[in-house]
Structure 1
Amino acid sequence: MTTPRHSFLPPLHDSPGSDRPTAGPDRRDGAVYVADDDLRLAVDVALATGRPLLLRGDPGSGKSSLAGYLARNLGRRYYEHVVTARTTARDLLWTFDPVRKLADASVRDAGGADALRDLDYVEPGVLWWAFDRASARRRGTGPEPRRPAREPDDDLNAHRGEQGAVVLIDEIDKADPDLPNGLLVPLGSGEFVVTETGDLISATVPEADGPASNHLIVVTTNEERELPPAFLRRCVVVTLPPPGLDRLVAIAHAHVALDGVTGDGVTDTDDLLFRDLATRVLTAREEARTRGRRPPSTAEYLDAVHACRRLGLAEDVPDRARLLALVLDKSP
């Protein structure tokens, strides 16, 4: 596949940059990612249409890491919400704390205190921050709150653009189907109403010659539960296949190049290590599938790579094999 003639993505690069780097295979700092042309095209389509990008794939295949990488390369703010079985669609838009309001009401000076206002107990969710950063800080469109809302990852997002954001909604399949169904209207229209205050929150309008939306929504699923057909129709859907030998090695090269632990860079010995571990992981993957168990992930492969380098086992083949056996998850 060739690169699209017009792309909203700048040339993607792996670099620690000025943002704080983190170590490990599941990097949320966006410093490194190996993206192929098909995935880049899918991202461009999501940007061109304003539709969410839904990533399918095995756990540890790099679904969650992509959002931070895109935010970094696009210069956009980054927000994430990890979904649980208790998450509702409204949690991604806003939450309201009636318990704290009741507690404040019970202790305030009835004779002299200002009346309690609902807006002071509204907490903006990640989609609100993405749609309209200014009103999220103010907890609405009305009067100034007693205290501004604190932006998620404010130290990171302080250096990012005002008008654009990437939002990661991670593991959406863990929630009840009401969650994706409840997001259809806010994601489709780019607006919602805060029930307690009546504020209409609308997404900022993009520039005419830019992407269709100032926010890119990246949704991941491990396929633990089927998603509603209506939600799937609204998304650009991509399945991330398990990487083969060459891709695993390329991923290891990209991560180790930014690791900086040994100070020696990536050597020929490292390359042999990457290939040997990748071959062993692929063999373990096939054995796991034959036995009906979960296959090892890219994240476990990278753990083995980093552990071998940190422990000086790059040239010790027997110990390397024993280390890999400890790192790989053997659970069913």
Structure 2
Amino acid sequence: MNTTFQGSKDYVASDELMRSVNIAIALQKPLLIKGEPGTGKTMLAEAISAALGKKLIIWNIKSTTKAQDGLYVYDVVQRLYDSQFGNEGVDDIKKYVKLGKLGEAFSGDEQVILLIDEIDKADLEFPNDLLWELDKMEFYIPETKETVKAKQRPIVIITSNAEKELPDAFLRRCIFHYIEFPNEEQMREIIAVHYQDIEEHLLQQVMDTFYWIRDLYNIQKKPSTSEVIDWIQALVLGGIDPEKIKTKVPFAGVLLKKNEDIDTMRRYLK
């Protein structure tokens, strides 16, 4: 089976990014991906999964997520309920232990891709709480007195929007890559994946306007790759004259999501 990532037909990856992916796989270390929203961090894991033909397991991190959630959950409430009603098998604790996403990745017979998405949303202790498990690829379940050890070491992709700094001890265990926002040439390649037959004049007007907006002073939330792709679709569906794109910026709400940013843009249009 192929173990070298060379991009995919649906994901435009730079040479440097592909090298980072392959180094992380070779060194068996987590790959930490940072970059502003909309630069394709989450989609990278999907592309690696598709290119290598491996199952993708996604662990979406929230502000309330604890490291324990990814290992296993012991449903003591269900066991208590079953014992009160005399249900069979109450003594079998294994029935009440459910593996989390990390446990699922460890227990598979084949190597999988594990995406730990937006790790910086959790509290500061969350990354440190995973150090042993990501290093040793195992964890202990005291309720059953069993150790869950990875049958096949998963390929771990971790994304961060840089909302908060990650601990140094965690960073030392990762291969790091920052996805730069695409320049116009790269953006054209990305757009070509979604719109193979886009008219050149329309595309150039879109590119000029999109990067002009991103460069405006005081824009709080710059439009991202996913938003320019949606904007193109809106322009095409709306039958907008390409000549009006730069002067009127139709459907600005597809690109900009804050009133203040739309007002800033309109001041420069006058």
For the aligned pair, the TM-score class normalised by the smaller chain equals 0.7 to 0.9
Could you tell me how far apart the structure 2 residues matched to 1:175 and 1:87 are?
Answer: 6
Partner residue in 2 for 1:272: 201
The answer to whether structure 1 residue 9 and structure 2 residue 4 are counterparts is yes
Q: Relative to 1, partners in 2 of residues 1:85 and 1:268: Cα closer, same or farther, differing over 3 Å?
A: closer
Match of 1:200 among 124, 143, 147: 147
Could you tell me how far apart the structure 1 residues matched to 2:181 and 2:127 are?
Answer: 26
Partner residue in 1 for 2:14: 36
Match of 1:235 among 174, 194, 205: 174
| Amino acid of the structure 1 residue aligned with 2:48 | L
Partner residue in 2 for 1:118: 93
Q: Relative to 1, partners in 2 of residues 1:130 and 1:324: Cα closer, same or farther, differing over 3 Å?
A: same
2:234 touches 2:251 (CA, 8 Å); kept in 1?
A: no
Question: After the TM superposition, which residues 1-332 of structure 1 pair with which residues of structure 2 at under 5 Å, given as runs?
Answer: 8-14=3-9, 32-109=10-87, 113-133=88-108, 162-205=109-152, 214-256=153-195, 266-267=196-197, 269=199, 271-287=200-216, 290-291=217-218, 293-309=220-236, 311=237, 313=239, 315-318=241-244, 321-331=248-258
Deviations 1:213-249 (A, max 9, x none): x411111111111100011111111111111111111
1:313 shift after superposition: 2.7
1:11 shift after superposition: 4.0
Partner residue in 2 for 1:146: none
Q: Secondary structure at the match of 2:7?
A: coil
Q: Secondary structure at the match of 1:72?
A: helix
1:82 shift after superposition: 1.1
Deviations 1:131-187 (A, max 9, x none): 222xxxxxxxxxxxxxxxxxxxxxxxxxxxx51111111111011121100111111
Structure 2 stretches of 5 or more lacking a match?
261-270
2:138 touches 2:149 (CA, 8 Å); kept in 1?
A: yes
Could you tell me how far apart the structure 2 residues matched to 1:175 and 1:61 are?
Answer: 21
Could you tell me how far apart the structure 2 residues matched to 1:76 and 1:12 are?
Answer: 14
Relative to total residues, which structure has the larger helix share, 1 or 2?
A: 2
| Amino acid of the structure 1 residue aligned with 2:156 | I
Could you tell me how far apart the structure 2 residues matched to 1:47 and 1:84 are?
Answer: 26
Partner residue in 2 for 1:209: none
Could you tell me how far apart the structure 1 residues matched to 2:133 and 2:150 are?
Answer: 10
1:249 touches 1:275 (CA, 8 Å); kept in 2?
A: no
Could you tell me how far apart the structure 1 residues matched to 2:42 and 2:198 are?
Answer: 30
| Amino acid of the structure 1 residue aligned with 2:46 | G
Q: Relative to 1, partners in 2 of residues 1:307 and 1:101: Cα closer, same or farther, differing over 3 Å?
A: farther
1:52 touches 1:217 (CA, 8 Å); kept in 2?
A: yes
| Amino acid of the structure 1 residue aligned with 2:193 | A
1:125 shift after superposition: 1.4
1:105 shift after superposition: 2.0
Deviations 1:88-134 (A, max 9, x none): 1111111222222222222225xxx343422112111112222222x
Q: Relative to 1, partners in 2 of residues 1:201 and 1:116: Cα closer, same or farther, differing over 3 Å?
A: same
Q: Secondary structure at the match of 1:327?
A: helix
1:39 shift after superposition: 0.1
1:59 touches 1:222 (CA, 8 Å); kept in 2?
A: yes
Deviations 1:239-293 (A, max 9, x none): 111111111111111123xxxxxxxxx2251x43333222211111111xx2151
Could you tell me how far apart the structure 2 residues matched to 1:43 and 1:99 are?
Answer: 42
Partner residue in 1 for 2:268: none
Normalising to structure 1: TM-score of the pair? 0.72
Partner residue in 2 for 1:149: none
| Amino acid of the structure 2 residue aligned with 1:215 | P
- The RMSD of aligned alpha carbons is 2.1
Structure 1 stretches of 5 or more lacking a match?
1-6, 15-31, 134-161, 206-213, 257-265
| Amino acid of the structure 1 residue aligned with 2:155 | L
Q: Secondary structure at the match of 2:102?
A: helix
| Amino acid of the structure 1 residue aligned with 2:82 | D
